[in-house]
Structure 1
Amino acid sequence: MLQPALVLEKAVPQDLNDLSALEQQCFSADKLSRRQLKHYINFEHSLLLTAKLAGELVGYGLLWLHQGTRLARLYSLAVSPQHQGQGIARQLMSELETKAGEFGWLYVRLEVAKRNTSAIGLYKRMGYRVFGEYQNYYADQDDALRMQKCVRKLSKQAVLHPALWYQQTTEFTCGPASLMMAMASIDSGCMGDQILELQIWREATTIFMTAGHGGCHPFGLALAAERRGFAAEVAVNTSGPIFLDGVRSAQKKQIMTLVHEQFQQECEYRDIPIHQTDVQLAQVEKWLSQGSAVLALISTYRLNGKKAPHWVLITGIDELCLYLNDPDVEDNQNPIDCQQVPIARADFEKMITFGASKLSALVVLYESF
């Protein structure tokens, strides 16, 4: 007798009851609630695939498609106990990877319990590699391995600048956190901690922004790096004070202009080159190939829908993407999602300008000789 064919298709609202029952059957902890499953069926930045035999739901796979990036994350994978060992998980994974690639995502990442040797074996056979580990990751305190696979072919000619990752500890210290990653990528003994993070922020802040704490000025970050023994230069596409878009207070504008002028004068005194130019990806690639670390000011709108200036560290570039270490972890994110984040070149060119003035800025670090 012929076995029924496995049917893989996108989940629809009518699948909710069966998905919820399968979730309860497969997991004893870290379960997705019925409300979460309903959300993921309809959410535009997720892909929930079902696996059915003769109309019976026997498994599902859920990918989280990160907005503004080319990174997908396997959020959950389940196969009913009665149908395990039949290759259903592998077929689900393969189809999820295919769909992710078709949608333009480059990588699929996942976490798996270290004790789950069967799942780890499956992922390794499918081409996933271990690149990190989380301690006490799950509710039962089990550790997790972090694994990744490129689901679209990338060039072997990618120019990389490997860097340790550091998570900013406040909502306003992305600049110092990115600078710390940059310095540590050149000298591994320079990572530091929150004390250094806040110290750099005090040195580099513009004092005010539209609301809340001030952002970090590229000149200020370059000066902070130079004080710590690194050579630095800045590329910025304006000669005037920055971050004034949306600042209504005349007093704040006057103070921010004064801070800008002070930073500029000190850069001139310390012979820190300032290039008035738009960001050129060819130049970024050249800097990376020379072993320099490159910080970029981006707008976060394409990442999280918020129009805010944000500093990140560029860790690589190829003909398809740039790769970023982002020090900020959103509430719905995992730190794994913020390391070596692939951003398509076309997306990056839209992210690299901020505000009505289309401000762009880079800070470049290299060894001081």
Structure 2
Amino acid sequence: MSTGHKKQQKSSLPTRIAPTGGNAKESGINKKSELTIRGAELDDIAQLVELENASFESDRLSQRRLLHWLKATDSHRVFMVATHNDILLGYGLVIMRKGTRLARLYSIAVSSHAQGLGVGKKLLLALEEKTLEQDKLFMRLEVATNNTGAIKLYESLGYRTFGTYANYYQGSIDALRMQKPIRQSLSLQTLPAYPWYKQTTEFTCGPSALMMAMANLNNELDMSQSLELDIWRQATTIFMTSGHGGCHPIGLALAAHQRGYSVTAYVNTRAPLFIDGVRSEHKKYIMQAVDRQFLQQAKAQGIKIIYSDPDVNALQKGLAKGAAVISLISTYQLDGKKIPHWVTVTHIDEDCLYLHDPDPDDLHPQPMDCQHIPIAREDFYSMSAFGKSKLRTALLISK
């Protein structure tokens, strides 16, 4: 629903992988040399800046940004370096996706003096181990399609391609999107193909989530701003605590039904929705009237409403039978704000629910950061409760 902007975050870059080159023999380092992999420290800043400038021709991390990540807490990042005799030979930086089990390789660079010594592989394995300690289950990255050496390394370590980006890197070079389940008890996740749409206003997450679900059932559906706004006008609650009204689950169910889809709505209360934080009696009155109208129309259209918490097992069975699911969540675990927000559930397994989020934030601006976001089943239960009343609602949509 995202009635307000998400908390502003610092922007991110594509996964930055330094090009290979150089010769380890020039520095006297060989495969028998003892390498140390450890957490990055403030005293490393001078060598980090030197390695950064030597490794990348553009989009370099400044000393200020490197210091930012050095000072960040472990819950926000994993920052490690490889050294030999106190000489920094490489670094790797992973960023955590708050509120999820997802981490992203942000940058990795190896000195030209250490090429061919397996420093990159050792760094990446150490990064995965530390990332796993932060309860993250999946690591993602992007890699240029012409970087065959890096692709071969990632594939050898268990990363699998699940998509591409056209013209992603400088020089119009495409990128592969890769992911690895870093907890070894998880089998390799085969992510389903699922359309993604970026909402064009701060208050149309509901229509955007519904469009993704409908497009997954009908690949001829045109996910456009025109449709996004049409659905919002049909499903809006008129008011929220501030700004434009978000979308009512029964309003979204009616919008889907009108377009030829069968919908089962789960709502765990019979009370009017979203009025807990509304102070104006006039706004409450209007929202209650809208709530009654939606319920009357749903009854007339024969839309099934189940007044209970959304049953994840039932939703999982629905997905397995080819249905689509959208769910309301609270964004608190993602951005620290208690905002109702609609997402599309793309897959459910024994460990996680996977979400398409239509609203990228500044720290995760890339579409891949908003697709198939893994949320542990136990975490989703708390994430899917909104407001003092602990509203839980989801829609199961089928052809």
The interval holding the TM-score normalised by the smaller chain is over 0.9
Matched, 1:75 2:106: yes
Deviation at 1:366, TM superposition (A): 0.8
Taking the aligned partners of 1:144 and 1:161, their CA distance within structure 2 comes to: 19
Q: 1:5 aligns with which of 9, 34, 38?
A: 34
Matched, 1:285 2:316: yes
SS of the residue corresponding to residue 173 of structure 2 reads: coil
Query: What does 1:267-278 align with in structure 2 at a 5 Å threshold?
Result: 267-278=298-309
Q: Structure 1 152/38 Cα, relative in aligned 2: closer, same or farther at 3 Å?
A: same
Query: What does 1:230-269 align with in structure 2 at a 5 Å threshold?
Result: 230-269=261-300
Deviation at 1:102, TM superposition (A): 2.7
Aligned to 2:68: 39
Aligned to 2:202: 171
Unaligned runs of 5+ in 1: none
> Could you tell me which amino acid in structure 2 is paired with residue 271 of structure 1?
G
* TM-score normalised per structure 2: 0.88
1:276-318 CA distance string (max 9 Å, x none): 1012222222222222211110001101111100001111122
Matched, 1:189 2:220: yes
CA contact (8 A) 2:181 2:189 kept: no
Aligned to 1:137: 168
Q: Structure 1 138/161 Cα, relative in aligned 2: closer, same or farther at 3 Å?
A: closer
Q: Structure 1 156/129 Cα, relative in aligned 2: closer, same or farther at 3 Å?
A: closer
Aligned to 1:316: 347
SS of the residue corresponding to residue 49 of structure 1 reads: strand
SS of the residue corresponding to residue 190 of structure 1 reads: coil
Taking the aligned partners of 1:257 and 1:107, their CA distance within structure 2 comes to: 42
Taking the aligned partners of 1:92 and 1:236, their CA distance within structure 2 comes to: 47
Q: 2:381 aligns with which of 342, 349, 365?
A: 349
1:204-241 CA distance string (max 9 Å, x none): 11111111111100001000000100000111011121
Taking the aligned partners of 1:162 and 1:366, their CA distance within structure 2 comes to: 17
Aligned to 2:371: 339
Cα RMSD after superposing both structures: 1.9
1:31-53 CA distance string (max 9 Å, x none): 11111111111222111001101
The count of aligned residue pairs is 367
Taking the aligned partners of 1:252 and 1:343, their CA distance within structure 2 comes to: 34
Q: Structure 1 156/8 Cα, relative in aligned 2: closer, same or farther at 3 Å?
A: closer
CA contact (8 A) 1:161 1:293 kept: no
Stretches (4+) displaced over 4 A: 154-162
1:124-169 CA distance string (max 9 Å, x none): 2222222222223234443222111111246569898752111111
1:246-279 CA distance string (max 9 Å, x none): 1111111111111111111000000001111012
Taking the aligned partners of 1:98 and 1:148, their CA distance within structure 2 comes to: 15
Aligned-residue sequence identity (percent) comes to 50
Deviation at 1:79, TM superposition (A): 0.4
SS of the residue corresponding to residue 25 of structure 1 reads: helix
CA contact (8 A) 2:145 2:175 kept: yes
SS of the residue corresponding to residue 136 of structure 1 reads: strand
Unaligned runs of 5+ in 2: 1-29
Stretch deviating more after TM superposition (77-86 or 152-161): 152-161
> Could you tell me which amino acid in structure 1 is paired with residue 126 of structure 2?
E
* TM-score normalised per structure 1: 0.95
Taking the aligned partners of 2:125 and 2:313, their CA distance within structure 1 comes to: 35
> Could you tell me which amino acid in structure 1 is paired with residue 36 of structure 2?
V
Taking the aligned partners of 2:177 and 2:103, their CA distance within structure 1 comes to: 13
Q: Structure 1 95/240 Cα, relative in aligned 2: closer, same or farther at 3 Å?
A: same
Taking the aligned partners of 1:150 and 1:160, their CA distance within structure 2 comes to: 11
Q: 1:202 aligns with which of 217, 233, 236?
A: 233
Q: 2:131 aligns with which of 55, 78, 100?
A: 100
Matched, 1:17 2:9: no
Give the number of the structure with larger relative contact order, counting CA–CA contacts within 8 Å between residues 6 or more apart.
2
CA contact (8 A) 2:265 2:395 kept: yes
Taking the aligned partners of 2:331 and 2:308, their CA distance within structure 1 comes to: 21
